[in-house]
Amino acid sequence: MLVTGCLLLASFVGGAYAQSQPWAQCGGAGWTGSTACTAGWVCTYQNDYYSQCLQASSSATSRSSSPSSVSTTSSRSSSTVSSTTSTHSSSSASSSSTATLTGIAGTAPTVGPSQDTGKLPALGWNAWNAYGCGISNDIIYAAASDIVSLGLQAAGYEYVNIDDCWAEMKRDPTTQQIIPDPTKFPNGISGLATQIHALGLKVGIYSDAGTATCAGFPGSLGYENIDAATFTEWGIDYLKYDNCNVPGNWSDTYPPPGNDYYNSNSAIRYRQMTAALAAQSRPVQFSLCIWGAANVWQWGSRVGHSWRMSGDSSASWSYITEILTTNAQYLDYVDFYSHNDMDMMEIGNGDLTIQEQRTHFAAWCFMKSPILLGTDLSKLNSTQLAIVTNPELLAFHQDATIGAPAKPFAPTANGTTTTNPPEFYAGTSTKGTHVFIINTASSTATMGFTFSLVPGLAAGSKYVVHDMWAGKDLGTFSGSYSASIAAHDTAAFLVTPA
C-alpha cells in the first residue's frame, strides 16, 4: 500500500487543516490533499508517490523534482520504471566494496534474506483492497476460514496478511514495541496468529521503512531490531514493508553515486530490516513495498524475496495493462527467491469483466508475481473461484524445479514483441513448453503463433496443444496454431511434441 490508498486519513487531514501539518504528506502521485505546509515547514519531494512537510532547515538537501529515472503515465500517475537493460538479479548491483563506501553505506548490513522461505512466489490474501483501515480480528480470521472452506488452501494459498492500521498511534513508552489496537485485536496479533496457524495457514503483518506507515501509524525506521523481535514473538511469517514518511535525510539523489542502487538510502532502509529479520529464530518472507523506486529489481533479491514494481493496484483494465507493460521489461530478474511484485489481486472488486479477471490472474501466474487475493472472499462466485484455483496455471506459478517466468517472444516471422504490453509469452515448466496470448484489443481476435518461433520448440515437428484453462487437449498441429480470443482475455496453452 502507498499513500494514495489511505483515503480515510487523507480525507481527515484535508478536511481538518487548510495546510498539511508537520511531517505529513503534501504531494505525490494521486495526492488530492493540500500541497502547502504550515509556517516553517516545506513540502519536500521524497519519491514520485510521496512528498512530506519537513522543517525548512532540514529539507535543504532534499530534491524538489522527480528523479530522471522515473516517469509518470496515464491518469493514475502510476510509476513507470526506467528502461534499464536487464541483467539477472543474482549478479551484484555494484562492484563497490564496503571498504570504499563512506557514510551510512559503509556500515550498512549486507546480510541477505532467509533461504528457508520465499523460494516460490507467495500465494495468499491481503486485507487492504477489500477493507482498508476497517480491519479487525474477526475480519482477518473470517478470511482465513474462507481460504480453507472455499478450497483455496487446497489449491496452495497459505498467507493471511494484515495490512496497515492494525496498531495504536504510539509505541509502548517502556519497551518501544508497537502496540496492537486492543479494540480491533482484543487478543493481540499473537492471539490471531495462533488462530490462523491452527488452520494450517501462515500470517503476515505490515510495517513501513519510514517514521510512520502510510496511514500514520508507527513505522519501523530506527526500530528494526525491536520490531523484528516483536513480530517473531507474535508468530509472524510474512512482512510487507512499505515506503511512506521517509525523512529528508534518508532521501536519494537519482541516479545515486556510481549508479549503485544497492547502496542508495532507499535500499539501506530495507537492508536494515533484512538484517533484523535474519537475527530472529523464525523465517519471514520479506516483501519490499517500494513501488518500483530506486531500481529495486536490480538489488531486490539481495534484500527481500519480492519487491513491488509500481504503485497500488486498481480494479481496472488500465492498471493491468500498465503493470504488464512495466513488468515485461524486467522478467530476467525473476527466479527462485526473486519475484517482481505486481501488487495484490483485484478479482472480485470493481467492474472487471470475467475476461479481464482471467488475464489478471494468468499474467500474475506466468510472470510469477506474488498472488495475494484482495477481496471479500465470501463474495467470490463460482467462476471467480475457478479462475483463482485453476490447477494448471498455479502449477506453472509454483513450479519447484523451474523458477523463470514466461517471457515475451515474436510469434510469427514478421511478428513483434514491442506492443505495450507484449501479447505473446512463452515459458517452460516441468510439464513442457507453455504459450500465453493476451488479446489487448477491445474486440475478439484470431491470434496465432509459429511453433518454430517458440523458444524450446523445433521446426518440422507436430505438437499437441493443450488448453490450460479447460484442462483438455485441443488436437495435434504442425507449423502453427491460432485461436479466437475474446477481448481482454488470455489464452494459456501447454505445447508438447506429438
Q: C-alpha distances in angstroms, 12 versus 7, 18, 167, 169, 364? A: 8, 11, 18, 15, 35
Phi-psi sector, 417: left (phi>0), alpha (psi -120 to 50), beta: alpha
Q: How many CB atoms lie within 10 A of CB 62?
A: 22
Cell numbers linked to 390: 485453476
Q: Which long-range contacts (CB under 8 A, 24 or more apart) does 378-383 make?
A: 378/142, 378/146, 379/348, 380/150, 380/347, 380/348, 383/354
Pairing of strands 202-208, 238-242: parallel
∠ Cα 179 113 93 (to 5°)? 125
Closest CA to 250 of 262, 266, 270, 267: 266
DSSP state of 235: T
For cell 484470431, name the residue.
446
b or e along 80-106 (b: 16 or more beta carbons within 10 Å of the residue's beta carbon)?
A: bbeeeeeeebeeebbebeeeebeeebe
Residue 125's closest CA among 494, 410, 427, 378?
378
Residues acting as catalytic residues: 242, 312
Question: How is 302-346 classified by DSSP, letter by letter?
Answer: GT-SEEE-SS---SSHHHHHHHHHHHGGGGGG-BTTBEEE-----
Residue closest to 243 by CA, chosen among 274, 212, 217: 212
356 contacts 317 by C-beta, under 8 angstroms: yes
| Distance, CA of 70 to CA of 62 (rounded, Å) | 17
Helix axes 188-198, 137-149, angle to 10 degrees: 10
Is the distance from CB of 25 to CB of 31 less than 8 angstroms?
yes
Residue type, 241: Y
Closest among 116, 158, 104, 162 to 137, alpha carbons compared: 162
Distance CA 330, CA 336 (A): 15
